[in-house]
Structure 1
Amino acid sequence: MPVAALMPVAMRVNRGLRHVPTWVVWIGGTLPALWLVWRLVQGGLGPDPVRPLEHELGIWSLRFLIAALCVTPLMRALGINLIRYRRALGVLGFGYAVIHLLVWLVLDIQLRWDEVIRDLIKRPYITIGMLGLVLLVPLAVTSTDRAIRRMGGAAWRRLHLLAWPATLAGAAHYMMVVKAWPPEPMVYLGIVFALIALRLGRIRRL
């Protein structure tokens, strides 16, 4: 279907989105965490709940980060404007990544720092995952309107290009953690590569 034919639909969607405040995304973004806590309390995560909890938190982080990267391509391809929600999606992705890390450090490794350092050195999937989280830190710190004003729009946009390698690192981390070839991590990694390809293709045309 030609993009022009989709414009009336996009306009109706955008008109509807004007009535959806950003706090809806923030509240909706906490629901997976609350559901995980409920399952943990009810014993729904199995006899060893730490690993499923850690796993699910990491997946939700990746989902939110990918959703944030999809905002601009979706607007360019279909005309649907979700820009006002992108910050919330990105910060939620960072928040879930931090909780994912804390579950690993506190509940899984139990703050055995010698083991943490050993895993960072010897386990590439942990190294890559940590790199992705480190790349997200400056993005989260500068996610406010005040930071944008202080940095200037151009510098802020350059810094936030780190979202791309950070999300790619998260997808690669997930792929390496499962140590197999199940479809879900492959789908996420494929989506990230497709988004990067779209981005690079647009840069070449400019």
Structure 2
Amino acid sequence: MSLKDRLAQPVNQTLRRIPSWPLYIVGAIPPVWLFVAGLTGGLGVDPVKAMEHQMGEWALWLIIASLCVTPARRYLGINLIKFRRAIGLLAFFYVLFHFLIWLVLDVQIVSQILADIAKRPYVTVGFAAFLLLIPLAATSNNWSVRKLGPGWRKLHQMVYAAAILGALHFIMLVKGFQLEPYIYMAAILGLLALRLPDWLKRRRR
């Protein structure tokens, strides 16, 4: 047994005893807290914008966390696969809440919403990322895995494009140069780069 496996073995033994369903309960707490804080004046002078921004940023955190699962297994020997579905679904619902806050609480006017999607590049990019995540969330179940077969894995590789578009949306959204969104983009590109050896190996085969 390699040193990596010896170090990872106790971690994996512990992880096997932890079910994935509590993640959904834990993941429901931040949006509820954010909504209550918005109602009680805890989010400053513009609570809608604060909720909108925070939900989008949390969604990026979760997307990045889902991208960490494969490199963690390959390079560290830590198996988080059984948690990836919950992380991915929570990321989708956070993006959905981010979108609904913008749609229902911020813009509100249907014609303005359509105009923003068509004419504002950062909105177009963010909306494209949201659309890419819809089929991934809809097929995040055992029935879809069996029904789609090898195509399921290819379909879910769209998360790579959605992650890049999400970070690009953040970069385009902020005013002036801010380091934070570029850190997210660098993290996403770095995690995708770690997949290149496996991709090149499959190409050679």
TM range (shorter): over 0.9
Report the CA distance between 1:179 and its aligned residue: 2.6
Per the alignment, residue 200 of structure 1 pairs with 196
Which letter maps to 1:130? F
Establish whether residue 166 from structure 1 lines up as the match of residue 175 from structure 2.
no
Match of 2:137 among 137, 140, 158: 140
In the alignment, the residues of structure 2 paired with residue 17 and residue 180 of structure 1 have an alpha-carbon distance, to the nearest angstrom, of 42
In the alignment, the residues of structure 2 paired with residue 82 and residue 67 of structure 1 have an alpha-carbon distance, to the nearest angstrom, of 10
Per the alignment, residue 38 of structure 1 pairs with 36
In the alignment, the residues of structure 2 paired with residue 124 and residue 35 of structure 1 have an alpha-carbon distance, to the nearest angstrom, of 31
Report the CA distance between 1:201 and its aligned residue: 3.7
Establish whether residue 99 from structure 1 lines up as the match of residue 97 from structure 2.
yes
- Secondary structure of 1:22 counterpart: coil
Per the alignment, residue 128 of structure 1 pairs with 125
| TM-score for both structures, normalised by structure 1 | 0.93
In the alignment, the residues of structure 1 paired with residue 141 and residue 201 of structure 2 have an alpha-carbon distance, to the nearest angstrom, of 31
Report the CA distance between 1:54 and its aligned residue: 0.2
**Aligned-residue CA RMSD (Å):** 1.4
Per the alignment, residue 118 of structure 1 pairs with 115
Report the CA distance between 1:14 and its aligned residue: 0.5
Match of 2:187 among 180, 188, 191: 191
Establish whether residue 156 from structure 1 lines up as the match of residue 152 from structure 2.
yes
Name the stretch that deviates more: 28-37 or 13-22.
28-37
In the alignment, the residues of structure 1 paired with residue 140 and residue 12 of structure 2 have an alpha-carbon distance, to the nearest angstrom, of 24
In the alignment, the residues of structure 2 paired with residue 189 and residue 26 of structure 1 have an alpha-carbon distance, to the nearest angstrom, of 26
Structure 2's unaligned 5+ residue stretches are: none
| TM-score for both structures, normalised by structure 2 | 0.94
In the alignment, the residues of structure 2 paired with residue 90 and residue 181 of structure 1 have an alpha-carbon distance, to the nearest angstrom, of 29
Report the CA distance between 1:120 and its aligned residue: 1.2
In the alignment, the residues of structure 2 paired with residue 23 and residue 203 of structure 1 have an alpha-carbon distance, to the nearest angstrom, of 31
Match of 1:182 among 178, 181, 186: 178
Per the alignment, residue 68 of structure 2 pairs with 70
Per the alignment, residue 12 of structure 1 pairs with 10
Report the CA distance between 1:7 and its aligned residue: 2.3
In the alignment, the residues of structure 1 paired with residue 177 and residue 12 of structure 2 have an alpha-carbon distance, to the nearest angstrom, of 38
Establish whether residue 90 from structure 1 lines up as the match of residue 101 from structure 2.
no
- Secondary structure of 1:47 counterpart: coil
